[in-house]
Amino acid sequence: MMSYKLSVILTALIIILFLPALAHAQLTPPQEFRAFDTPNDDGKSLSLTWKVSLENDREGVYYVISAAASADGPWYQIDKTLSTIGYKSDFPQYFGFGDDNKLWHFYEASKIPDVMDPITSTAYFRLAVTDGTKTVEFPNMVSFAPQGNWFDKSKINILIFVIIFSSLILFFISLARRNPNLFIRHIPGLDAIEETIGRATEMGRPILYLNGLLDMSSLSTIASTSILGKVARKVANYDSQIKVPCYDPIVMSVCQEVVKEAYAEAGRPDAFKQDNIFFITNDQFAYAAAVDGLIVRHKPAANLYMGYYYAESLLIAETGAATGAMQIAGTDSITQLPFFITTCDYTLMGEELYAASAYLSREPLQLGSLKGQDISKAFIIFVLIIGTIVSTAESLFFIHLFKTF
Amino acid sequence: MTKEQRFTVTRWIIFGLVALALIIPIVYNKYIKLPDTSSRVVKNIYDHIESLPEGSSIIMSIDFDPSSDEELRPMVMALLWHAFKKNLRVIGMTIWDAAAGGTLIDIFTTVAKEAKKQDGVDYAIMPFKPGSSAIILMLSQDIFAAYPQDYKKAETRDMPVFKGVKSIRDMKFAMCVSAGQAVDIWIVYGKEKGKMPLGAGCTGVMATDYYPYLQSKQLLGLMGGLGAAAQYEVLIDKRGTATDSMKPQTVVHALIIVLIIIGNIIYFINRQKT
Amino acid sequence: MTVTPMQILEAWLAVGFTLMIYSFLYKDNPLFKLGEYMYVGLTAGWGVCSAWFNVVWPDLIEPLSRVFKSYLGATLDKPLSHNENLLLLIPLILGILMLTRFSPKLGWLSRYTFAFILGTASGIAIPLTVSANLFKQMEPTLKPLFGKDISAWMTVNTLLILIGVVSVLIYFFFSLEHKGIIKKVARIGIFYMMVSFGAAFGYTVMARESLAIGRMTKLVKWAGQDYYYASIILLVVIAGLIALLEMLSKKSKPADDSTG
Amino acid sequence: MIKRQIPLMIAFVMGILFIIQFFVPHQLSQDLLTGVNKWLMIIGGISLLLGINSLVHFHYVQIKRETPGWGFSLVMFLCFGLALVAGFLPSIVMWFVEPAKAGAEPVKWLSFIPLIPPFEPGSTLFWIFRNGISPFMATMFSMIGFFIASAAFRAFRARSLEATLLLIAAVIIMLGQTPIGQMLWQGIPDIMVWIFSVPNTAAKRAIWFGITMGTIAFSLRIIFGIERAYLGGTDQK
């Protein structure tokens, strides 16, 4: 029994050891050479595949790919690739994670517009295998016309999660329409705003509001302008002043619109001063210098920093802290959070910035979206725990699920 | 003194101290000596290079442009000097277009001149090739397929520096110094397929993102910014710009720590009073 | 190395500007204000030039005028590229709608542009944030707890990361009141965040100080004989000016500390 | 209706369009994305007029009313004008010179202006950037080196367990960054690596997850017109 096993192993060893030597003598024509449109692309490339072969795939052997614009040639060599690289399994974004992908060579022909029939946009390919001395060709040529694709299948996992989260949030928004009494916990930084405005009025000093350093196409800035609306409304009620120095002219325009409307809603449109929302310059540190000057000269009672910040955060917030102003910051810029935490009285971290306008408005639909956000986070926690268990069981399912290309 | 005045005066004192902590070590740089220390993540790289037998091949990927030069050049200079001193054979390459000319070629030729090393024999510089991850994948199979010629259009196959080397699998060490995504690409493609020990260098701010890779052993060592370069300069006993700038750094860091301690002492005294 | 007169002039300018800004560390003063206003003026001018020469002219006016020329049958020096077409009228119109804000009556038209920008930004953000933030962070979090290459220490760390992620996420729940078990878990989340913020703060010190060192090194260099002691002379001049201005302002209005 | 409904519709259509765009690899879709990004830059460029108007108006009022310190506003105008002239003059001169170039004599009295387009080395605007703007920029940036010390002194007090953790983490990292750490104890650099790879990684990831959810919810509120502060209306109708 023992010797039988041994002999099998020995035979296998001999085969493995001598196979390359045996194969060295000959090259076989590549098998099952195919051309097709590259999936998930913009229509600029074609894909070629052929079977992995034991005889050909070894050191010193190359596959030679030639292309032409018509079946009659002329043929151009477009590439010469190593026979030991380039498998379908290297491109899970096209072919998924199946095991049999290892059995296929894959080549993406991306520079084909030069060798394409200008009318039918078809390209023709030939494949040969060479070891430097001898060359063997695949008997037939293949052809295909590339197309732009309308759906990127490699992003289907992202699509699924976008749909899950969006529908959760939209569902809770619609639920809030029917049942408007939702519980939302206290966010101390936001509760402090009201008190701050009152204090500013008593001291007869203005409130300073910054929107961060990004333009209007950043969500942090949009969230910030929307918080400004709620703050301005309270400011109008208290008959206080709000100053908004801006870094971007479009943000300035939106802020003017938002504050004007807030004053109108508070029934005091005459108290709105457009000049209080002004543009400084769109240079990071010149803006910081000007805001610093503004803080020390006008000594605002409160400074509100909402939006996205870079290194200037500490320059501004530390100057504000030195004047003794009440400071509330809100940012989703993780790198600057430590500096706001150390210099401000309250800091809204990350998603609290996005929740702030909903919290301040107390509108049921807005609060509903917060509830939806919570359920989505609960879903993430669930996936994290299940995913860890499944990964521990040596399954790659979740790792593949969250793969992006 | 009112509370606000006290506050202002404290700030003046702090700013004054910081200014002194910066200026004095800059002016009297020569007279200050820092203790020779090194962190394990940096020393791992040094120890590894130190342990390599003479004539081993290593590859260095230099992936930063002139804007990060001040922070990263001293690091590469020190590493390269060490490798040359150990008589290793070094292949220089880049997967970042902007690094190819000025940075890569300049650093290699400068250090090689100083160490009296010969192009093609002791080191070689590869030209920039587009397709970052594809290039590294190819390197793990056949280095001559990726780089048939060096930057001077000389055939790489004929070079003594490549003797006995076919792919990065035959290399004893790979080091990527980058100000962008190159380290990630080297971890995913180079380490995965090449299996050689991989070290990384990056700007100080980026370093924290790579610490998890040390924990998971995908990186042998990590050099972040000038601080790491200074440590390396000490290890190879060739002190340069990084060591110089570490002196004011150390003094300022010490000052801030002392300030924090004083602040807490004052705080506890005040709390005891009330 | 010889220093050219131009380099000396540039050094004196740089030293002057540097010390004007640093005077803010003492307190707000007219020299800092002067520097600040110069800086704002120069960058605003630079910004206008940049917008015109890098965006509006090459990306809008030039291609659009070429499009119109070709419609009018004029010969062009090179054929129209595929992004030179009448679609460029859209940003032109949206830009002009922004400019209606100069008129109080038509100003509301700018809302169309706002809506365009905000809608686009929101649409781009949703799939991008899922792919770039959620997926990119999720993949490395899902690590196996045990296995043949996994030491006990790694298991502990993987668990600690998992606990941290979950507890910080719990802290952010808006519809759960922070009391009872939730309060305890959320507090653990805060601990994680505090360690993280403290570490990031401590880590950033070096990057920031290196800039200060860079500036100081230059000042020290410019204090040398080659530059006619620019740093030293200007330091004395600026300190003297500030003291003088302070004395003058104290005389004229003793009780008022605001400089306007 | 045209003041409110149409903007809401524009936001909805653009929002949905760009969610779909992400999943479409077709050339048209790629062109749409790059095109719209360019459009946004163009709109920003045109809108700069509004910003400049605001800036000029503010300082003009200062000068006209002779408010204390109006001289500073004058300096602002001078510097603003200087940069504008440096940027535009070469192009304007070239505009006039170029048509006459064919055979005509170069205009001599203009030769002191370097006819180099702005944003290229050697141009006057570039010189202004290097010697007027960048010293200010570098100095403002370096001032953080001073502020970070005073912020650390004031904020890092062991008031509570949370504040103590913040303080300890900061001090350990500062020690680990310099040779002092190792002089005190060999283990400090290892603790530093651990802090960054475990608690820091966990906290950052969770904050990112939260931001993801916040971004999705906020975007949906804009696309579906629930969040309409930018239209002025803050109330749900």
Enter the ipTM: 0.89
Residue of A nearest to D137 (CA): A285
A277-279 β-sheet, strand order = A277-279, A242-246, A207-212, A302-308, A326-331, A346-349
Is pLDDT above 60 for A32? yes
Q: Can you give the pLDDT at residue C257?
A: 45
Nearest CB partner across the interface for B253, out of C157, C205, C220: C205
Give the Cβ contact number of residue C69 at 10 Å.
13
For Cα atoms A344, A349, A351, give the angle at the middle one, nearest 5 degrees.
Answer: 150
Is pLDDT above 70 for C184? yes
Lowest-confidence pick of A242-251, B25-34, C219-228: B25-34
Q: Which residue of A57, A62, A63, A85 is the best one to mutate when testing the B interface, meaning the one whose CB has the most B CBs within 10 A?
A: A85
pLDDT tens digits, residue range C78-101? Answer: 788 877 888 999 999 999 999 999
Across A175-202, average pLDDT? 90
Q: Which domain holds residue C157?
A: 143-222
pLDDT tens digits, residue range D147-195? Answer: 999 999 999 999 999 999 999 999 999 998 888 888 888 888 889 889 9
Interface contact C63, partner D, CB < 8 A: no
Structure-model confidence comparison of residues C258 and B215, the more confident one: B215
Read off φ and ψ for residue C117, nearest 5 degrees: -65, -50
pLDDT tens digits, residue range A47-72? Answer: 999 988 888 888 778 899 888 888 88
Contact D45 C215 (CB under 8 A): no
Contact D218 A223 (CB under 8 A): yes
Band of the pLDDT at C258, cuts 50, 70, 90?
Answer: very low
Pairing label, strands A207-212, A242-246: parallel
Q: Can you give the pLDDT at residue B98?
A: 79
pLDDT tens digits, residue range D112-123? Answer: 666 777 777 778
Go through the domains of chain B in sequence order and give each one's CATH number. Answer: 40-241 (3.40.50)
pLDDT tens digits, residue range A35-50? Answer: 898 888 888 888 999 9
- Alpha-carbon distance of C238 to C23, in angstroms, equals 8
- Alpha-carbon distance of D42 to A238, in angstroms, equals 39
Is pLDDT above 90 for A320? yes
Chains near D (3 or more Cβ pairs under 8 Å): A, B, C
- Crossing angle of helices B3-27 and C181-222, rounded to 10°: 50
Q: Chain C partners of D94 at a C-beta cutoff of 8 Å?
A: none
Is pLDDT above 50 for A362? yes
Interface contact B41, partner D, CB < 8 A: yes
Pairing label, strands A277-279, A242-246: parallel
Band of the pLDDT at B4, cuts 50, 70, 90?
Answer: confident
pLDDT tens digits, residue range C143-174? Answer: 888 887 788 988 999 999 999 999 999 999 99
Interface contact C24, partner A, CB < 8 A: yes
Q: Can you give the pLDDT at residue A8?
A: 65
Nearest CB partner across the interface for C198, out of D13, D148, D167: D167
Residues of chain B numbered 9-38 and touching chain A (CB < 8 Å): 11
Residue of B nearest to C218 (CA): B26
pLDDT tens digits, residue range D6-30? Answer: 999 999 999 999 999 999 999 899 8
Is pLDDT above 80 for A18? no
Interface contact B142, partner A, CB < 8 A: yes
Nearest CB partner across the interface for B22, out of C157, C203, C212: C212
pLDDT tens digits, residue range D79-109? Answer: 999 999 999 988 887 777 665 555 555 555 5
CA of B222, closest CA in chain D: separation in Å? 10
Is pLDDT above 50 for B45? yes
Interface contact C26, partner A, CB < 8 A: no
Q: Can you give the pLDDT at residue D99?
A: 57
Tell me the three-class secondary structure of B219-267, residue by residue. Answer: CCEEEEHHHHHHHHHHHCCCCCHHHHHHHHHHHHHHHHHHHHHHHHHHH
Q: Can you give the pLDDT at residue D122?
A: 76
pLDDT tens digits, residue range C25-62? Answer: 999 999 999 999 999 999 999 999 999 998 999 899 99
pLDDT tens digits, residue range B229-268? Answer: 999 998 998 888 888 888 999 999 999 999 999 999 999 9
The CATH class for the domain spanning A29-144 reads: mainly beta
Across A266-285, average pLDDT? 93
Residue of A nearest to C25 (CA): A319
Band of the pLDDT at B212, cuts 50, 70, 90?
Answer: confident
Across A67-96, average pLDDT? 84
Across C212-235, average pLDDT? 93
CATH topology of domain A185-362: Rossmann fold (3.40.50)
Is pLDDT above 80 for D213? yes
Nearest to C160 by CA among B36, A56, D205, B153: D205
Lowest-confidence pick of A182-196, A238-252, B209-223, C1-15: B209-223
pLDDT tens digits, residue range B78-102? Answer: 999 999 999 999 999 998 877 776 7
Q: Can you give the pLDDT at residue D108?
A: 56
Nearest CB partner across the interface for B40, out of D179, D189, D196: D189
Across B126-148, average pLDDT? 83
DSSP A108-141: EE--GGGGS-TTT--EEEEEEEE-SS-EEE-SS-
pLDDT tens digits, residue range D132-158? Answer: 999 999 999 999 999 999 999 999 999
Interface contact C52, partner A, CB < 8 A: no
Pairing label, strands B173-178, B123-125: unpaired
Domain boundary assignment for chain A: 29-144, 153-169+367-401, 185-362
Q: Count of alpha carbons within 13 Å of C185, Cβ hemisphere only?
A: 18
Cis peptide preceding A74, ω within 30 of 0? yes
Residues C107-126 as b or e (16 or more Cβ within 10 Å = b):
bbbbbbbbbbbbbbbbbbbb
Model pTM score: 0.89
Distances in Å between the alpha carbon of D158 and those of B226, B265, B274, C110, D141? 31, 10, 16, 51, 29
Residue B156: enclosing H or E segment and its boundaries? none
Interface contact C157, partner B, CB < 8 A: yes
Q: Chain D partners of A165 at a C-beta cutoff of 8 Å?
A: 213, 216
Lowest-confidence pick of A104-113, B167-176, C107-116: A104-113
Q: Can you give the pLDDT at residue A174?
A: 92
Four-CA torsion A263, A268, A274, A279, nearest 10 degrees: -30
Is pLDDT above 80 for A15? no
> Are C170 and D145 within 8 A, CB to CB?
no
Interface contact D208, partner B, CB < 8 A: no
Radius of gyration of chain A (CA): 33
Nearest CB partner across the interface for B35, out of D145, D167, D183: D183
Q: Can you give the pLDDT at residue B49?
A: 95
Q: Can you give the pLDDT at residue C259?
A: 40
Q: Identical fold at A29-144 and A185-362? A: no
- Please classify residue B104 by burial: count the beta carbons closer than 10 Å to its beta carbon, then call 0-12 exposed, 13-18 middle and 19+ buried: buried
> Are C125 and A165 within 8 A, CB to CB?
no
| Tokens 């070891």, located at residue | A131
Q: Can you give the pLDDT at residue B125?
A: 93
Look up residue D5 and give its two tokens.
Answer: 């409904």
Contact C142 A399 (CB under 8 A): yes
Chains near C (3 or more Cβ pairs under 8 Å): A, B, D
Is pLDDT above 90 for A307? yes
Is pLDDT above 70 for D234? no
Nearest CB partner across the interface for C210, out of B15, B19, B245: B245
Q: Can you give the pLDDT at residue A346?
A: 96
- Crossing angle of helices D199-223 and C110-129, rounded to 10°: 140
Across A17-45, average pLDDT? 75
Q: Can you give the pLDDT at residue A404?
A: 80
Number of domains chain C contains: 1
Q: Can you give the pLDDT at residue C256?
A: 46
Q: Can you give the pLDDT at residue B1?
A: 67
Interface contact C142, partner B, CB < 8 A: no
Q: Count of alpha carbons within 13 Å of C38, Cβ hemisphere only?
A: 21
Band of the pLDDT at C1, cuts 50, 70, 90?
Answer: low
Nearest CB partner across the interface for D7, out of C91, C115, C213: C115
